[in-house]
């Protein structure tokens, strides 16, 4: 028995990490014994944490894909001091930010300079640079610094590390499966819980926990990831195992979205089809100009002669509805409480923008200051806002927190990404790569559209996809350029 134990414990002398493995095993066993003896359960997690750190040093690609799997299953946790985190996805982001940054500092000569010079990257860096200016001039530096740090590791991990890791069809497939399977599992758990109470509209928020903040985040997560699943089916032979799983996922996601009772997700599913054909027919530029003109005319109307007061709700009628049919009817009559509460905050935002149009109040500060700018005639039953939710329009939030220049920089980043996506789509000859690209552009565009009514980029389940899609657009553009450069010498001989 003693010989067997010593054989299991021993590590070959020639093993390159033999000493590290022995140290890890010693610390791991010691942590388990100490955790049991001291009744300190957190010590039991120490071996797993050390293993992750070790693995991130050896190959942070594995940590990246493991993080993708945990994003759909992450849970929001409040921390002391007014902090909050998405556990465990955000802890993976911290680890990858550290190891990824160290890798880039050590291997900077291996970085493709074309990626840094790409218009999408430049637009994103300008957006972040202006955010830094607004953080420094913020009305509440502490809140803005927290926001700035969180945005920093989002961009480092989901944009720059994604660009380094996802650069081949094999990587694109891994991205699909590592995110899709956990998201499918989370969705099925919600669906089963909802089915047990008869798919009640009144209880829809209750069944979302613990993986989703609310039914909007849940439904929109399914909707924006749908393009990847749809085009992923073309990678596999019809009726094969992977194909059947993806088709089942599409049907299950549609059922999940249907019973989420989320109007924005319904619109997104229909819009995805229209956006696909707009890109395919090269009408995206016209569509963006048209949308901009419509919003400009609408904004001009509501701001002229105080016409915005016409949209003030009747306090007694703007209530929460127990039936979805009643909610839809109330929406058409501008009596839905969620829509009217949005208007209540948007009116406050307009006054905030007028007061600080250049640098805004500071990143992440809308909730802190907006109640001083509200108009009582737009007040609803939920205006006390106990859940501390935001403005429910990401573009207005940019203008409030980072001034009109901040909104402009974010719009430039979004528009450049979409227009480049259309251009690259029509230049891509590799069919598999083309499907990944259109899925990424559709996902990115849907998030941009949904942000008209929500602050989705601030959630890990959707914000992660937003920046990953932008990185995929750049990567596929560079892969296309490489393909052209390789074929040019052959064509001249």
Whether residues 52 and 196 share a domain: the answer is no
For the chain, the residue count is 493
Per the DSSP assignment, residues forming a β-bridge with 319 are 336
Quick check: 404 pLDDT over 60? yes
322 plus 217 within the same structural domain: yes
pLDDT tier at 456, thresholds 50, 70, 90: confident
**If pLDDT is split at 50, 70 and 90, which confidence band does 2 have?**
very low
Q: What is the per-residue pLDDT for 146?
A: 92
| 48 and 68 together in one domain | no
Please say if the pLDDT value at position 245 is more than 50. Answer: yes
pLDDT of 6 higher than 50: no
Alpha-helix runs per DSSP H in 196-258: 215-232, 241-258
Whether residue 16 is contained in a domain is answered as no
> Do 66 and 46 fall into the same domain?
no
Q: Do residue 43 and residue 67 come from a single domain?
A: no
Look up residue 281 and give its two tokens. Answer: 């027919």
Tokens of 28: 């791991």
- Report pLDDT for 460: 92
CA distances, 1 to each of 5, 307, 410 (Å): 6, 86, 66
pLDDT value at position 324?
Answer: 52
- How many domains, the chain? 2
pLDDT tens-digit readout, 254-265: 999 999 999 899
pLDDT at 8 over 50: no
Least confident of 104-108, 393-397, 444-448: 104-108
- The percent of residues in the chain predicted with pLDDT above 90, rounded, is 59
Same domain, residue pair 50 and 186: no
Terminal C-alpha separation, the chain: 71
Asked if residue 452 has a cis previous peptide bond (ω within 30° of 0), the answer is no
- 172 plus 34 within the same structural domain: no
> Are residue 356 and residue 267 in the same domain, yes or no?
yes
* Cβ count near 230 (within 10 Å): 20
Highest mean pLDDT among 211-215, 311-315, 330-334: 211-215
- Structural domain includes residue 181: yes
106-157 tens-digit pLDDT: 888 888 899 999 999 999 999 999 999 999 999 999 999 999 999 999 999 9
- d(Cα 432, Cα 234) in Å, to the nearest integer? 8
Boundary residue ending a domain (58, 77, 108): 58
Is residue 8 domain-resident? no
Residue 9 located in a structural domain = no
Which of these ranges, 198-212, 440-454, 461-475, has the smallest mean pLDDT? 198-212
Q: Looking at the structure, do residues 27 and 164 belong to the same domain, yes or no?
A: no
Predicted local distance difference test score (pLDDT) of residue 7: 42
Do 238 and 378 lie in one domain? The reply is yes
The span from the CA of 122 to the CA of 127, in Å, is 9
Question: In which domain, by residue range, is 430 found?
Answer: 59-493
| Same domain (yes/no): 53, 174 | no
In a domain, 5, yes or no: no
State how far the Cα of 244 lies from the Cα of 252, in Å rounded to an integer: 12
Q: Are residues 38 and 76 in the same domain?
A: no
Q: Is the pLDDT of residue 492 over 60?
A: no
Q: Is the dihedral of CA 224, 225, 229, 235 positive or negative?
A: positive
Asked if pLDDT for residue 319 goes beyond 50, the answer is: no
Q: Virtual CA dihedral for 102, 108, 114, 120, nearest 10 degrees?
A: 20
Q: Establish if 419 belongs to a structural domain.
A: yes
Nearest to 428 by CA among 492, 470, 478, 491: 478
């Amino acid at each position: 028995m003693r010989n067997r134990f010593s054989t299991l414990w021993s590590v070959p002398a020639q093993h390159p990490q033999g000493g590290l493995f022995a140290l890890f095993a010693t610390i791991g066993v010691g942590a388990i014994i100490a955790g049991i003896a001291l009744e300190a359960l957190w010590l039991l997690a120490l071996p797993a944490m050390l293993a992750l750190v070790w693995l991130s040093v050896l190959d942070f690609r594995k940590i990246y894909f493991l993080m993708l799997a945990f994003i759909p299953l992450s849970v929001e946790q409040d921390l002391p001091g007014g902090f909050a985190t998405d556990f465990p996805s955000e802890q993976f982001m911290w680890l990858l930010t550290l190891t990824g940054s160290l890798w880039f500092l050590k291997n900077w000569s291996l970085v493709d300079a074309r990626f840094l010079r790409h218009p999408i990257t430049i637009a994103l860096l300008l957006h972040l640079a202006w955010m830094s200016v607004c953080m420094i001039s913020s009305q509440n530096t502490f809140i803005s610094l927290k926001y700035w740090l969180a945005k920093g590791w989002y961009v480092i991990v989901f944009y720059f590390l994604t660009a380094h890791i996802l650069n081949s069809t094999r990587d694109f497939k891994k991205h699909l499966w590592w995110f899709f399977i956990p998201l499918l599992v989370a969705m099925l758990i919600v669906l089963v819980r909802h089915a047990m109470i008869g798919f009640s509209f009144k209880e829809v928020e209750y069944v979302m926990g613990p993986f989703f903040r609310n039914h909007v985040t849940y439904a929109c997560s399914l909707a924006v990831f749908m393009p990847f699943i749809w085009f992923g089916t073309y990678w596999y032979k019809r009726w094969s195992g992977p194909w059947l799983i993806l088709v089942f996922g599409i049907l299950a996601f549609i059922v999940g979205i249907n019973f989420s009772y989320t109007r924005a997700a319904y619109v997104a599913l229909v819009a995805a089809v229209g956006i696909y054909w707009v890109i395919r027919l090269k009408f995206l530029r016209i569509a963006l100009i048209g949308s901009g003109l419509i919003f400009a005319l609408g904004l001009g109307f509501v701001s002229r002669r105080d016409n915005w007061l016409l949209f003030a709700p009747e306090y007694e009628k703007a209530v929460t509805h127990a039936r979805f049919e009643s909610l839809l009817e109330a929406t058409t009559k501008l009596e839905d409480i969620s829509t009217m509460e949005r208007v209540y905050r948007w009116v406050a935002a307009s006054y905030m923008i007028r007061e600080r149009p250049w640098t805004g109040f500071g990143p992440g500060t809308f909730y802190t200051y907006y109640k001083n700018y509200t108009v009582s005639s737009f007040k609803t039953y939920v205006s006390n806002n106990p859940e501390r939710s935001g403005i429910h329009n990401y573009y207005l939030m940019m203008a409030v927190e980072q001034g009109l220049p901040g909104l402009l920089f974010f719009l430039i980043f979004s528009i450049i990404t979409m227009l480049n996506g259309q251009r690259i789509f029509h230049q891509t000859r590799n069919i598999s790569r083309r499907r990944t690209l259109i899925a990424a552009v559709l996902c990115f565009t849907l998030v941009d559209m949904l942000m008209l009514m929500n602050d989705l980029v601030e959630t890990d389940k959707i914000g992660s996809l937003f920046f990953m899609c932008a990185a995929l657009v750049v990567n596929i553009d560079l892969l296309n350029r490489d393909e052209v450069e390789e074929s040019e010498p052959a064509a001249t001989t």
